[in-house]
Structure 1
Amino acid sequence: MSTAQLVSLTLAMLAGAVTLLGLVIVTGRALHRRRTRRDARLAADFRPLLLELTGGDDDIDEPLRRLAALDRRRWRAVEPSAISLLTKVSGHAHAALVSLFAQRGLARAALRDLDRFGAVRRATAAHVLGLMGHTEAAPALAGLLSDRSPEVRAVAARALGQIGAAEAADPLLASLAAGGGVPFHLVAQSLIRLGPGARPALAKALYHPEAAVRAVAAEVLGLTGAVETARVLIGVLAGDPSGEVRVRTARSLGRLGTPVCLEALIHATGPAHPHAVRVEAATALGDLGSPRAVPALCDLLGDPQYHVAHNAARSLARLGSGPAMAVLAETVAERPGTTAAGHAWEALAVLDLQAGQLRRPPTAPVS
């Protein structure tokens, strides 16, 4: 066979392969569209049963029995709608769907899928188990926090929060250590959902060698109102080597709103502390809501660091009528042309705008 004939044969074979591949793709897409339309029709047929199951009626036995008895093909069409509905309901409706999934063996199948090779399959299984609040899945989901797939790690962290098992606090916190790869905000959200049962683990985590772990613990303790940890957080604010941890601790102390936090926050606004900590402490004094913070905030109005002075003025405004408002008004009237007056006027102007009024700028002094 000559070279030209060999080239022609090769090209013909390539053309045939391309044509065959095109036919396979077109056929596959056609079959997929057909199956999608068929599943949509089947799902529509059984949607009334799903709505009856989750509609709040006391008698759910009949829709539950009929949905649990569906054959595999029909259930495959209904299942996505049922899972989607699980994300939108609570109370009795959620419990009814969980009961349906239990009868269909969905939890057992999802537990098996947590060990599958495909990351999409593992993530889907973790998602379903989280939606179901399947407590028995917590240890397996904690193991997925070190999964090779970042998507699986994220879904597992979210699922642990949905389940709400307090024992998940330690593995969630550990997932942040040494660059564990689970996003900070997801860990924080899940720890919040674990509730008061996670507080002992969070308090212990304030002494963890990893700054990221200490930071999320300090943040969550404030967000969950763990007033009993205020004195421990005060120690963290005073001595933690990480500026980020101290910033989040100052924020949490303001959120806790207890009088014991006042002196520590005032001290944290001092010039010996890092700029970011001073800025957050000035804000936290406003969150704390104590009139006893007014003198310290008044002194901060003239601070050379813009954001410290700015936040002090906003905190005075948040403290409301009385001494705080008097300080702002007196600063504008008695210290015209100074940066302190500028910050005070801006804070008052914001309050006026919120009340639907417009404050006129102060008149510059005549020299």
Structure 2
Amino acid sequence: MFHLTVAYIFIYVCLGLIALGILLLFQMKISHNREQRNREAYAKKHHDYFVYVQANLQDNVELRLPPGKLKKLEKRVIQDKFIEWIEQFKGDYRSKLIELCREAGFVEEDLKALRSIRYGRRLEAAYRLGGMRAPEAVPMLQNILQKRKYSSLSIVLARSIAKAADNSEDLLQMLRALLSHGKPIHNLAADIMLETGLDSSAILLKLLNDSDSALVKVGLVAMWGQAVPEVMPVLGRLVGAEEKDVRAEAVKLYLTTNPALKDDTIAQLMSDRSWEVRAEAARALGQLHAAGSIPLLTDALRDSSWKVRYNSAESLAELGEAGFEALCQAALTGAGIQREAALHRIELVMEKEREHSAIEQMVAYNKKRLLYDRYFGVKQPAKRVGGVAAVGGDYSA
């Protein structure tokens, strides 16, 4: 009887906790909806003020907050609008908005909030301080980042430091702390680093020359899409780096930034001890239309790495008739993995190119079709793309 009573009590307690949880969820939803309505009302209320600020950003006018006592949420709506503009604007416009945030006390308030025991409040404060480009917040943000385990807050802290830092050493310190956990986040770290308003070329040079391979990787990733001539000598040195990952990433960049490669450089890359490097080199040769590398790519069809064989066959297919004919020869006279790689790519090419409708693509397909028939014979009537078989002259050449 006693055990039955305890079971009933336990069930009632569980039901009570469930009911309390549901009530709390409803309360949170109601509070959230109320806050959203208030935000919309305040945004509408201060519409004219926002127009006034935008209109006077280019003038030598001292900007201030709206007159009268502002409620806490009302100030937050104004601050969020300023941060939104800071992200969008550059130069003097951004500087005036940052100074306005400082004079309004927004920076000081968020510096205090950064010391809060509440996780959510610290997270919001860190985000806003980065948005306001507040360099005085960097030491505290660095301290929190270094002491915490890797989490979503680490990303917010790192991005805020990148935005607010006014010297490259703070940025490098942030990257070291972020990468110290051993997470494979080099692409994310590079994206965060590029949020900085500092000279990116000088920072990239420091990253690529750093003794920490993790920072070197971040620098290599960050270089994609960046035209930085100053780092090219360093990039050439990293092509021969000892660490495989660094060397492979450096080779990718080196090949895409050096359209005129020397024959000995190509041969060296295609015989590198790392299959990642050989694969990247093979892939780049097709994109660079390096027709002189056809013999190297044909030999690479025998490579022990399937990725190297796959990229080599793909590049040969991109090198026009000469490259496709080399594939046909390898498929006809080669053996083992070389023949298999060549045949697989030939099948893909013949299936893919027949689907094109542009005249130039139809002509390319018909040329390759004739080469295919010459090497493997016509087992069925050759399927030509209608009406364009005679375009471009003699395809049997």
Q: Same fold (TM over 0.5)?
A: yes
What is the deviation of 1:10? Answer: 11
Change (3 A) 1:114 1:82: same
Alignment match, 1:44: 40
Distance 1:352 1:278 in 2: 31
Where do residues 52-131 of structure 1 align in structure 2 (5 Å cutoff)? 53=50, 57-59=54-56, 65-66=65-66, 69-75=69-75, 78=77, 82=81, 85=84, 89-91=88-90, 98=98, 101-131=101-131
CA-to-aligned-CA distance 1:20-55 (integer Å, 9 cap, x gap): x67865665565455444433322222232586269
Distance 2:100 2:356 in 1: 50
Runs of at least 5 residues in structure 1 that lack an aligned partner in the other structure: 319-323
CA-to-aligned-CA distance 1:290-345 (integer Å, 9 cap, x gap): x6x43234421342134324434555676xxxxx5353254357666354865478
What is the deviation of 1:130? Answer: 2.0
What is the deviation of 1:108? Answer: 1.9
Change (3 A) 1:162 1:327: farther
Change (3 A) 1:84 1:327: same
Distance 1:264 1:116 in 2: 57
Distance 1:328 1:225 in 2: 31
Distance 2:53 2:262 in 1: 46
Alignment match, 1:321: none
Change (3 A) 1:307 1:12: closer
Q: Give the counterpart letter for 1:82 in structure 2.
A: K
Runs of at least 5 residues in structure 2 that lack an aligned partner in the other structure: 379-397
Q: Secondary structure at the match of 1:66?
A: coil
Where do residues 133-172 of structure 1 align in structure 2 (5 Å cutoff)? 133-149=133-149, 150-163=151-164, 165=166, 166-172=168-174
Contact persistence 2:186–2:218 (CA under 8 A):
yes
Please tell me whether residue 199 in structure 1 is matched to residue 204 in structure 2: yes
TM-score, with length taken from structure 2: 0.68
Contact persistence 1:86–1:131 (CA under 8 A):
no
Contact persistence 1:265–1:281 (CA under 8 A):
yes
Question: Which of 319, 326, 331 in structure 1 is aligned with 2:326?
Answer: 331
Q: Give the counterpart letter for 2:298 in structure 1.
A: L
Distance 2:328 2:10 in 1: 91
Change (3 A) 1:167 1:103: same
Q: Give the counterpart letter for 1:131 in structure 2.
A: G
Change (3 A) 1:263 1:135: farther
Identical aligned residues as a percent: 18
Where do residues 210-221 of structure 1 align in structure 2 (5 Å cutoff)? 211-221=213-223
Change (3 A) 1:70 1:310: same
Please tell me whether residue 185 in structure 1 is matched to residue 187 in structure 2: yes
Q: Give the counterpart letter for 2:238 in structure 1.
A: V
Distance 1:275 1:106 in 2: 54
Please tell me whether residue 295 in structure 1 is matched to residue 292 in structure 2: yes
Distance 1:143 1:353 in 2: 59
Distance 2:20 2:99 in 1: 41
Q: Higher RCO, 1 or 2 (CA under 8 Å, sep at least 6)?
A: 1
Contact persistence 1:53–1:93 (CA under 8 A):
no
Q: Secondary structure at the match of 2:102?
A: helix
Alignment match, 1:252: 253
Distance 1:354 1:163 in 2: 51
Contact persistence 1:169–1:202 (CA under 8 A):
no
Alignment match, 1:277: 277
Change (3 A) 1:142 1:13: closer
Where do residues 219-234 of structure 1 align in structure 2 (5 Å cutoff)? 219-234=221-236
Greater alpha carbon shift after TM alignment, 111-120 vs 27-36: 27-36
Contact persistence 2:129–2:137 (CA under 8 A):
yes
What is the deviation of 1:107? Answer: 1.8
Change (3 A) 1:50 1:18: same
Contact persistence 1:55–1:93 (CA under 8 A):
no
Q: Secondary structure at the match of 1:70?
A: coil
What is the deviation of 1:254? Answer: 2.1
Instruction: Give RMSD over aligned pairs.
Output: 4.5
Q: Give the counterpart letter for 1:133 in structure 2.
A: R
Contact persistence 2:86–2:132 (CA under 8 A):
no
What is the deviation of 1:279? Answer: 0.4
Where do residues 334-345 of structure 1 align in structure 2 (5 Å cutoff)? 337=332, 339=339, 342=343, 343=345
Distance 1:80 1:7 in 2: 58
Contact persistence 1:283–1:312 (CA under 8 A):
yes
Contact persistence 1:134–1:163 (CA under 8 A):
yes
Distance 1:51 1:347 in 2: 61
Contact persistence 1:266–1:285 (CA under 8 A):
no
Contact persistence 2:165–2:171 (CA under 8 A):
no
Q: Secondary structure at the match of 2:194?
A: helix
CA-to-aligned-CA distance 1:258-282 (integer Å, 9 cap, x gap): 6578754541211x42111100122
Q: Give the counterpart letter for 2:38 in structure 1.
A: L
